[in-house]
Amino acid sequence: MRPKLSQTAVTLTFVPFAILLSAALLVAEQAEALDHARLVYASWVSLAFATPALALFVFPRTRTGEYALLTWTFSLAAYLVHFYYAFGVNYHGSVAATYAGQGPIIATSNFTLTALWIVDVVTSWTVRREVRWLAALRLVARGLVLVTFVTAVILFDGFVRVLGSAMIVVIASSIAIRVIEFVRHRGGASRSALAPGATAS
């Protein structure tokens, strides 16, 4: 279910997004390969917003919150700019050229990721109730995004590796906190069940 958005949440996410994406496109003007630079810099913005979105998804209490939705949406928006320069400009909108240039595994992964991510964000904004297949879609879409960015960290050097490494640390820390919370909750429940005077339901 789409959360109610506050002005504060919209401001704290949209303003940094607008500044970073604008800067990414403007700074690329200084590069020799303009389109390639915009492709790369837009992916950095997408990664930066995917990091809090994925971290918030780890916790059930924030998974469907306004900040999770907004950062995930803005991450997609930056990714679509990246996708436009990769597919629309670099490969001239040709599926055949994309497969020839990237190979079947990477091209299929990129097209699948793009489609699932768009469907995920659109349904997050439009569907009023959560259903099982949507929950599965959200998990798969985020898993693909995480794998894609982690792969970029492995394959590429430079600033993307810094951003990707930070993302890995943040998400790993979120998972660790979530596991600790789960263990403490189970431990507290077990102690309550074993307390004197406790009755079985």
Contacts of 148 (CB under 8 A, 6+ apart): 109, 110, 113
Q: What is the mean pLDDT of residues 43-55?
A: 97
Which pLDDT does position 103 carry in this prediction?
95
Give which of 79, 138, 140 is closest to 114, Cα–Cα.
79
**Residue 29 DSSP symbol:** G
Looking up tokens 């069940």 gives 193
Query: Can you tell me the mean pLDDT for 10-36?
Result: 96
pLDDT tier at 192, thresholds 50, 70, 90: low
Half-sphere exposure (Cβ direction) of 52: Cα atoms closer than 13 Å:
18
Section 8-37 average pLDDT: 96
Give the mean pLDDT of 140-151.
94
pLDDT in tens, 101-143: 999 999 999 999 999 999 999 999 999 887 889 999 999 999 9
Average pLDDT over the chain reads 91
Express each pLDDT in 59-103 by its tens digit. Answer: 999 998 999 999 999 999 999 999 999 999 999 999 999 999 999
Structural domains of the chain, ranges and CATH numbers in brackets: 7-193 (1.20.120)
| Residue 201: band (very low, low, confident or very high) from pLDDT cuts 50, 70, 90 | very low
Query: Do the beta carbons of residue 30 and residue 88 sit within 8 Å?
Result: no
Res. 13 pLDDT band, cuts 50 70 90? very high
Are 58 and 65 in contact, with CB atoms under 8 Å apart?
Answer: no
- Give the whole-angstrom CA distance, residue 52 versus residue 77: 15
Mean pLDDT of 188-193: 59
